[in-house]
Amino acid sequence: MASKTANNGKNVLISINPATLEVLGEIPMKTPQEVKEAVRGADRAFDGWAGLGVAERGRYLLKVRDYLLEHVDAYCDVISKENGKPRLEALSAELFLVTDLITYYVKRAPELLKDRPISLHNPIFKATKSSKLVYEPLGVMAVVSPWNYPFAIPMSGILFSLLAGNTVLFKPASDTAMIGLKIDEALNKGAGLPEGVFTTIIASGRAMGTALFEPPVRKVIFTGSTDVGKKINAICAKNLIPTVMELGGKDPMVVCEDADLELASRGAVWGAFMNCGQVCASIERVYVARPIYDRFVELCVEKTKALRVGQDLDHEVDIGPLANEEQLGIVEAHIRDALEKGARILTGGKRIQGLQGYFWEPTILVDVNHTMDCMTEETFGPTLPIMPFDSEDEAVRLANDSVFGLTASVWTKDPAKGDAIARRLQGGTVTVNDHAYTYGVCETPWQGMKESGIGRSHSDAGLMEMVFPKHVNTDHSLGFMKRRMWWYPYSSAAYEVQKMAFNAFVHAKAFPKFLLSVATRKDYRKTLY
């Protein structure tokens, strides 16, 4: 995606098909004034949208789901053309995930968001007070999304925000702005949301400025690179605006000696090359028990050579192009660095001749180590570096040797061993005998640790990121107590009674003595009643 100034003086984005480099369309960009008005519009719309209640908001979202089901082929086509992924991946990893999330959480949200009583253990408070949590929407939310999963990732934050009662400003990635407009279509045309509830902002960085990261925006949901996430987080911090950040990954795969090699090699090839490796949860490094290392590598090479790379025209392609030229350059640089430091390529390793777009051969690297960028920095491309280990302790140490902590996987026939190793690996999600797929399971959390993120998306926890749990406490002693026992006036009698209360709450057998004291000390009772 590139930007330019059109003849009418308006800036536009030019959408490029990464498989053919042909122009897909031109998209007008908002001016700074239009961005500011969009923010004000979302703020004005908040009270009305929040006031509808979760059930009514859910009915709007079911219209979004039904619109997507009616136009599923059109959505898969535009995702494939602008992002490059095969249509089957657009269907399974983008459209299906979103429709499932809507169906499940429209039913579940009323239970999650209803007022929740808090049981008070203190006998005095229990007798006269009640507490509850009231889950309130935050206000205006900013959802800033990446280009690798340009439909499913932003829709997760958008749908949870809307369901919770917030209004949303959506900034799609420049490389996939047309897909961003399709999201806008589903929500505003398909569901007919009230004006200002959901607004898509396609603008240059200069035009947008910091408008999405300062009041009246109340929370930012960002998915993208760690470097950009840190910059956005710093801007938000100046205004004490909280964030949810799903950032980079360098996700390890640990293959134990007793693993099913056929299963593990299939999982490695899919986990490394799905979406052309442009997945924060891609398998980016593999550690294999030395006794099975050679056979595992052999099976991976065999399966990688069978992959079909190209533009998806007839559903006969497994891997599409990289999404943009910049990412292709990173892949090339990581491979060059590895080769200079002693790595070997067993298959792939270069651009595909005869194809115009950003195509790169799926690549397997061996003789790799942690001095190489391909083992320490996020590649985000179709590479699979494989390294042997001599003990499970070494495998865990190598897997955890990273600033990232998004996902990891363990492969073994022994469930107990898999669980034990999974508990030692540093990641927001660790799977046993599979990898990465849990982003498609809407009731499980998606989260990172270390430099892989802050907060959670998906799952009940993801919905609760979109609300503020306000505590409401009510006193029920009106009419028979004229003050609370911790109020003025202070006195020696009050001090002695409070000492007895202190002991009574620690030792239950002392509580009757405390009650007797309150009942018999007239000098104290008369101040209470």
pLDDT tens digits, 81-132:
999 999 999 999 999 999 999 999 999 999 999 999 999 988 778 888 999 9
Q: Is 481 helix (H, G, I), strand (E, B) or coil?
A: coil
Quote the pLDDT of residue 5: 43
pLDDT per position as a tens digit, 400-455: 999 999 999 999 999 999 999 999 999 999 999 999 999 999 999 999 999 999 99
Element (H, E) at 105: helix 96-113
Nearest Cα residue to 364 out of 340, 386, 380, 333: 386
Residue 302: what pLDDT? 98
Q: What's the CA angle centered on 323, arms 346 and 230, to 5 degrees?
A: 100
Which helix (H) or strand (E) segment is 519 a member of?
Answer: helix 511-520
Q: Please give the pLDDT value at position 2.
A: 46
- The type of residue at 107 is K
pLDDT at residue 344 tops 60? yes
pLDDT for residue 497? 78
CA dihedral of residues 405, 411, 417, 420 (deg, nearest 10): 10
Contact (Cβ atoms closer than 8 angstroms) between residue 104 and residue 442 = yes
Tens of pLDDT along 441-465?
A: 999 999 999 999 999 999 999 999 9
Q: What is the pLDDT of residue 492?
A: 87
* Dist CA 517 CA 529 (whole Å): 15
pLDDT at 3: 42
pLDDT reported for residue 453 = 97
Strands, E assignment, 138-209:
140-144, 167-171, 198-200
Question: Nearest-5° angle of CA 493, CA 496, CA 500?
Answer: 135
Catalytic residues: 246, 280
Superfamily the domain 2-247+462-469 falls into: Aldehyde Dehydrogenase; Chain A, domain 1 (3.40.605.10)
The CATH number of 251-440, from 3.30.1300.10, 1.20.1510.10, 3.30.560.10, 3.40.309.10, is 3.40.309.10
Q: Which of 463, 468, 470 has the alpha carbon at shortest distance from 112?
A: 463
Q: How many CB atoms neighbour CB 114 within 10 A?
A: 12
Residue 511 has pLDDT above 80, yes or no: no
Task: Write down the pTM of the prediction.
Answer: 0.95
> What's at 214, amino acid-wise?
E
Percent of the chain, pLDDT > 70?
A: 94
User: Which residues does 39 contact at the CB level (< 8 Å), separation at least 6?
Assistant: 140, 169, 211, 212, 216, 217
Q: Which residues of 349-366 are buried (b: 16+ CB within 10 A; e: fewer)?
A: beeeeeeebbbbbbbbbb
Sorted by sequence, the CB contacts under 8 Å of residue 116 that are 6+ apart come out as: 132, 133, 135
Residue 199 vs residues 55, 222, 265, 348, 432: alpha-carbon distances, Å: 22, 16, 44, 43, 40
Query: How confident is residue 397, by pLDDT bands cut at 50, 70 and 90?
Result: very high
Which of 66, 159, 58, 158 is closest to 110 using CA atoms? 58
Q: What SS3 class is residue 523? A: helix
Q: Which residues contact 121 (CB under 8 A, 6 or more apart)?
A: none
> CA-CA distance, 53 to 480, in Å (whole number)?
37
User: Who's near 314: CB < 8 A, 6+ residues apart?
Assistant: none
pLDDT of 477: 85
pLDDT at position 7 over 50: no
According to DSSP, the β-strands at 404-405 and 449-450 are antiparallel
pLDDT band at 310 (very low <50, low <70, confident <90, very high): very high
Residue type, 501: A
Asked if the model's pLDDT at residue 9 lies above 70, the reply is: no
3-class secondary-structure state, position 324: coil
Mean pLDDT of the chain: 94
Residues 6+ apart with CB under 8 A from 497: 485, 514, 517, 518, 521, 524
Give the mean pLDDT of 219-237. 97
pLDDT of residue 478: 78
Highest averaged pLDDT of the listed ranges 10-24, 282-296, 496-510: 282-296
Token digits for 456?
């959670």
pLDDT of residue 264 exceeding 80: yes
Beta-carbon contacts of residue 374 (< 8 Å; ≥ 6 apart): 284, 285, 334, 335, 337, 338, 343, 365, 368, 383, 385
State residue 86's pLDDT score. Answer: 98
Structural domain boundaries of the chain?
2-247+462-469, 251-440, 480-528
Is the bond into 216 cis (omega within 30 degrees of 0)?
Answer: yes
